Amino acid sequence: MARLVVVSNRVSIPDPTGKGSAGGLAVALREAFQGQDGLWFGWSGKVSAHPSAEPRMIDKGHVRYALMDLTATDRREYYSGFANRALWPVMHYRIGLSEFSRADYAGYLRVNRTFAGALARLIRPDDLIWVHDYHLIPLAAELRALGLANRIGYFRHIPWPAPEVVGTLPGSQDLLRAITDYDLVGVQTARDADNLRRGILQEFDAAQRTADVIALDGRQARVKGFPIAIDMSGFEQAAPRPATHRLLKQTVASLGSRSLIIGVDRLDYSKGIPERMEAFERFLISNPDQRGRVTYLQIAPTSRSEVPEYAALSRTVSETLGRINGAHGEPGWVPIHYVTSAYPRSVLAGLYRIARVGLVTPMRDGMNLVAKEYVAAQDPEDPGVLVLSKFAGAAEQLGGALIVNPNDKFEVAEAINAALHMDQAERIARWQRMMDLLRRYDIAWWTNAFLKELAGQRKTSKARRPA
């Protein structure tokens, strides 16, 4: 069997204590390595004044981890700068927030080239290479330039917007061309796939070979939706456990007879956290009988705090929270509870299960795993209700949710009210619809579907020897 080589910006090494709070991507990729030898290559997360050109190798089980350090300049330009300050906002339709700098873009290309050089030395001719996400778009082009003819797949975790939006990003034409150096490009939704194929067709003299395949300059790339999924059995098993964890017990005790509404997101402007808090306020204003009877818990672990737009968001959320709690709170009742540290995964599962409403209202999101986790953790006899943004990729699959436009706080407020008052039969019917789909398309389906399709691609003639 071909060896699997995964490349992602960050590498997740299993925690020897087993207590680590593995994120969705780490769980997904570990699934991909089940039962086969593999290599996982990427940034160590460390900064060093003189990083080695060769990765540090760590062997765990049948997986070998290859870790590269970056310089402080690399980190600033490649990661915080181009990837997170210029590219991320455009891909989430926030053109006005995008800060492009030529130095950052050059740093992004430089790190991709360095990674490709180090990776190429570890690659065997039959390896299947699977590259992840927006940090590494040019990686295949760099590997091809070094002469690699392996099958290389790319999975895109964040949205691919309409060509008019992507076109605002300087460098986007080169990135679009670089995408065609992959044999298989997986995106989260049918809409993303359509946007990406249209982008390539509009920008270049490319030909559409079949519904999924685009040909450009003698190369062919298959662009398809592979909606990412979750580890269903993990969540279904974790959620029903008795509330043994201190944090969970405290939360249950502090709730008393109040209903819990839950939001869980990295602190990111794409997630719509202040907008959601304002929608909750609107719900309280429109439904005064609900005062003191509901608590909204927002868990929002801090992320990318070195990027100015994230620091600004943190201030906005704190101000919004303070204003709403000040205006509507009463002795003994704080309407919104807000936590910026990460909870262990088992506690999250328990909180999802006791929450009557899962509030997942991003302004844009590639998929949104929290929406799926919330559904998976519910009690089959008495499930809660998911309120889901139409702009999350998950909305293409989770039609059993109450689908809302997060830009309309009145609509979100009405959905919260409808969710809290929905009768049990309707809650079960909606939940069952979503569970059937999540069980069928779980994380094993996702990794197998992508890798099977990648393995089935003809070996490429894309390799280009350097001139």
Measured over the CA atoms of residue 448, residue 452, residue 454 and residue 459, the dihedral's sign is positive
- How far the first Cα of the chain sits from its last, in Å, is 33
Q: Of the ranges 66-74, 76-84, 94-102, 362-370, which one interacts with ligand GDG (CB under 6 A)?
A: 362-370
User: Do 186 and 196 contact (CB within 8 A), yes or no?
Assistant: no
The footprint of ligand GDG on residues 60-99 (CB under 6 A) is none
> Which amino acid, one-letter code, is at 72?
A
Whichever of 216 and 230 has its CB closer to ligand GDG, that residue is 230
The 10 Å Cβ neighbour count of residue 289 is 6
Measured over the CA atoms of residue 75, residue 79, residue 82 and residue 86, the dihedral's sign is negative
Which of 221, 228, 261, 386 forms a contact with ligand GDG (CB under 6 A)?
Answer: 228
Rounded CA separation 304/439 (Å): 33
Shortest spacing between CB 20 and ligand GDG, in angstroms: 9
Which of 5, 24, 41, 63 forms a contact with ligand GDG (CB under 6 A)?
Answer: 24
Give the x-and-dash track for 101-130 against ligand GDG (CB under 6 A).
------------------------------
Which of 3, 10, 13, 23 forms a contact with ligand GDG (CB under 6 A)?
Answer: 23
If one asks whether residue 442 binds ligand GDG (CB under 6 A), the answer comes out as: no
Q: Of the ranges 23-31, 42-50, 209-217, 289-297, which one interacts with ligand GDG (CB under 6 A)?
A: 23-31
Which residues have C-beta within 8 Å of that of residue 390, sequence separation ≥ 6? 403, 404, 405
If one asks whether residue 348 binds ligand GDG (CB under 6 A), the answer comes out as: yes
If one asks whether residue 342 binds ligand GDG (CB under 6 A), the answer comes out as: yes
User: Do 438 and 229 contact (CB within 8 A), yes or no?
Assistant: yes
Whichever of 43 and 281 has its CB closer to ligand GDG, that residue is 43
Per-residue tokens: 253: 């005790």
Whichever of 175 and 297 has its CB closer to ligand GDG, that residue is 297
Strand arrangement, sheet containing 294-299: 336-339, 294-299, 259-264, 357-360, 385-389, 402-404
The footprint of ligand GDG on residues 182-211 (CB under 6 A) is none
The footprint of ligand GDG on residues 141-180 (CB under 6 A) is 157-158
Whichever of 55 and 362 has its CB closer to ligand GDG, that residue is 362
If one asks whether residue 272 binds ligand GDG (CB under 6 A), the answer comes out as: no
From the list 345, 358, 382, 386, the residue with the least C-alpha distance to 239 is 345
If one asks whether residue 274 binds ligand GDG (CB under 6 A), the answer comes out as: no
The 10 Å Cβ neighbour count of residue 326 is 9
> Which amino acid, one-letter code, is at 403?
I
From the list 377, 386, 380, 299, the residue with the least C-alpha distance to 344 is 299
Which of 3, 110, 266, 439 forms a contact with ligand GDG (CB under 6 A)?
Answer: 266
Shortest spacing between CB 352 and ligand GDG, in angstroms: 9
DSSP string for residues in 3-40:
PEEEEEEE--PPPTTS-----HHHHHHHHHHTTS-EEE
The 10 Å Cβ neighbour count of residue 96 is 8
Whichever of 447 and 460 has its CB closer to ligand GDG, that residue is 447
3-class secondary-structure state, position 414: helix
If one asks whether residue 297 binds ligand GDG (CB under 6 A), the answer comes out as: no
Q: Of the ranges 17-25, 116-124, 143-151, 207-215, which one interacts with ligand GDG (CB under 6 A)?
A: 17-25
Give the x-and-dash track for 364-383 against ligand GDG (CB under 6 A).
-xxxxxx--x----------
Which residues have C-beta within 8 Å of that of residue 149, sequence separation ≥ 6? 125, 459, 460, 461, 462, 463
Which of 264, 351, 354, 435 forms a contact with ligand GDG (CB under 6 A)?
Answer: 264
| Catalytic positions, written as ranges | 157, 365
Which residues have C-beta within 8 Å of that of residue 229, sequence separation ≥ 6? 28, 372, 438, 441, 442, 443, 445, 446
Shortest spacing between CB 221 and ligand GDG, in angstroms: 20
Which of 10, 21, 117, 249 forms a contact with ligand GDG (CB under 6 A)?
Answer: 21
Please give the size of the binding site for ligand GDG, defined by CB under 6 A: 23
Whichever of 86 and 216 has its CB closer to ligand GDG, that residue is 86
Whichever of 368 and 397 has its CB closer to ligand GDG, that residue is 368
The 10 Å Cβ neighbour count of residue 399 is 12
Whichever of 69 and 365 has its CB closer to ligand GDG, that residue is 365
Whichever of 25 and 363 has its CB closer to ligand GDG, that residue is 25
User: Do 182 and 153 contact (CB within 8 A), yes or no?
Assistant: yes
If one asks whether residue 20 binds ligand GDG (CB under 6 A), the answer comes out as: no
Q: Contact residues for ligand GDG (CB under 6 A)?
A: 21, 23-25, 157-158, 228, 264, 266, 299, 301, 342-345, 348, 365-370, 373
